[in-house]
Amino acid sequence: MARILITSAIPYINGIKHLGNLIGSQLPADLYARYNRGRGNEVMFLCATDEHGTPAELAAAKADKPVAEYCAEMHGVQSDIADRFGLSFDHFGRSSSPQNHKLTQHFAGKLAEAGLIREVSEKQVYSHADGRFLPDRYIEGTCPNCGYEKARGDQCENCTKQLDPTDLIDPRSAISGSTDLEVRETKHLYLCQSQLKDQLDAWIDSKADWPVLTTSIAKKWLHDGDGLQDRGITRDLDWGVPVKKGGEDWPGMEGKVFYVWFDAPIEYIACAGEWAEANIKTDADWERWWRTDKGADDVKYVQFMGKDNVPFHTLSFPATILGSGEPWKMVDHLKSFNYLNYDGGQFSTSQGRGVFMDQALDILPADYWRWWLLSHAPENSDSEFTWENFQTSVNKDLADVLGNFVSRITKFCRSKFSEAVPDGAYGEAEQALIADLTTRVRAYEQHMEAMEVRKSAQELRAIWVAGNEYLQNTAPWTAFKTDPEKAAGQVRMGLNLIRFYAVLSAPFIPTASAKMLSAMNTLDTSWPDDVEAALNALPAGHEFTVPEVLFAKITDEQREEWQERFSGIRD
């Protein structure tokens, strides 16, 4: 049994996430977690809300609530939506937790001891209109590298170049839009990433199986221009982790907090501590996942995230871990994704454009969305959500292929035999199907192991199609007229295929999978290592029920209504 540690990029607290956010990290991470649990592996799947920084402060101010109260409320909202989408986190934590405060300060102390933190007097942008220093991401302007007009002061989303606010052309406040900005002097702490460049370069070179998207972004930051730069890790804000060395005050840093991009990745580790506390576990229980001197040396650690998060997780966070000199588990595989665009434009949280997770669940159950998003995951390039494609995919894949198969075979058995598996032998057609499915299941497993999301979905659909083609070719409704015993064997195969499909499909569509298992009156979710044995799991006489329709088709009227409803800006 393997041990798999899985983390997905932690979502900002400021509002409900859209479908592009979901497919960029949390949903494929859940797919991989569910698959590995299904194979009998021990899994720790962690996520959390990212609660510090200006986004949280501004969102709380807009809601007219204290920031701590706002964050607690939104954590509850995001946790509930994640549950309803079937995201099977072992723990969904909070970066504002006491565990993360303590661990962030611990890492800062270790980095200081190693000589990897320096104090810098720097110039920071102050907005007179807003009456505050502006963090990097709340200054917008034109990128000097690519000309993108909405580049942020920390990074250009268009070309991913790391920036400082003073690099921007025609800078303005992203809060008020004011250009009445003044550069003032302040002191901050910098992480000396440049001293770790060679270590990081060698570490990335050792990851030969990483996606090209991941390594190309990391290498670009390491080698383009002036190479890897030291990075500020503190900010002049009220809300965040207070700047301390371990538990001691840091002279000259009073009233400052750690930069959200320093403390947020550390929450991956702290989240395990939160899990331990919530489940009455010991430190040893979570340390066996995260410390190589406490048992984590045999853990496979996989991260999932969108391409905009890659630089911080391949460079800054690893620099924190390497620089600490402590035996923390480092990521083994970082699966990154391109962007999912929306109906001719872009999903945008800030502009409220696209379908958001709560809205999606208001109109259709989670499995509809899970299937479409995973089967169209933006792995090798950006992909696009359109309502026409969504309707076609749901209707053809879920309703016509899988749902229709389940409905046809259960109703036919009930009408001609009973609501129990009939007693009939398997013949040549059944043995040929078993051989074909054995090959396909092994291919499905290989794609899932490699985290090839779209290929996994394509293979799963082909497995569903194979069952439909088997029914069409054997036609038990015709065979029944002249050879009821032969038809009984065909129906027995069909009913066993339902359980078989439920197990294989659970990572993609867990709710429908549970319905299929319930209809087949079984709790047997054993993985089909032996396909022939799996297709004999339900013996003759085993009772079942005919389930309700698994997936209703999306009508043209519904599609047109939803397309119109979601064409505007979210309030």
Q: Helices (H), strands (E): how many in the chain?
A: 22, 19
156 is in an annotated binding site: yes
User: Could you give the CA distance from residue 311 to residue 319 in angstroms, rounded to a whole number?
Assistant: 11
Residues 6+ apart with CB under 8 A from 130: 173, 175, 176, 178
User: Could you give the CA distance from residue 250 to residue 254 in angstroms, rounded to a whole number?
Assistant: 7
Q: Pairing mode, if any, of strands 42-49 and 91-94?
A: parallel
User: Could you give the CA distance from residue 69 to residue 82 in angstroms, rounded to a whole number?
Assistant: 20
Check if the beta carbon of residue 513 is closer than 8 Å to that of residue 503: yes
Check if the beta carbon of residue 476 is closer than 8 Å to that of residue 458: no
192 is in an annotated binding site: no
C-alpha distances in Å from residue 563, one per residue of 342, 541, 568? 11, 48, 10
CA-atom Rg of the chain in angstroms = 26
143 is in an annotated binding site: yes
Check if the beta carbon of residue 109 is closer than 8 Å to that of residue 191: no
Residues 6+ apart with CB under 8 A from 225: none
271 is in an annotated binding site: no
As beta bridge partners, residue 8 has 304
Rounded to 10 deg, the angle between the 453-474 and 428-449 helix axes is: 170
The b-or-e profile of 278-312 (16+ CB within 10 A means b, else e) is: eeeeeeeebbbbbbeebebeebebbbbbbbbbbbb
CA-nearest of 186, 187, 155, 185 to 168 is 155
Check if the beta carbon of residue 424 is closer than 8 Å to that of residue 488: yes
Residues 6+ apart with CB under 8 A from 460: 444, 504, 505, 508
User: Could you give the CA distance from residue 293 to residue 188 in angstroms, rounded to a whole number?
Assistant: 33
Q: How far is CA 435 from the centre of its chain?
A: 34
49 is in an annotated binding site: no
User: Could you give the CA distance from residue 359 to residue 69 in angstroms, rounded to a whole number?
Assistant: 24
Q: Binding-site residues for ATP, please?
A: 349
Q: Binding-site residues, please?
A: 143, 146, 156, 159, 349
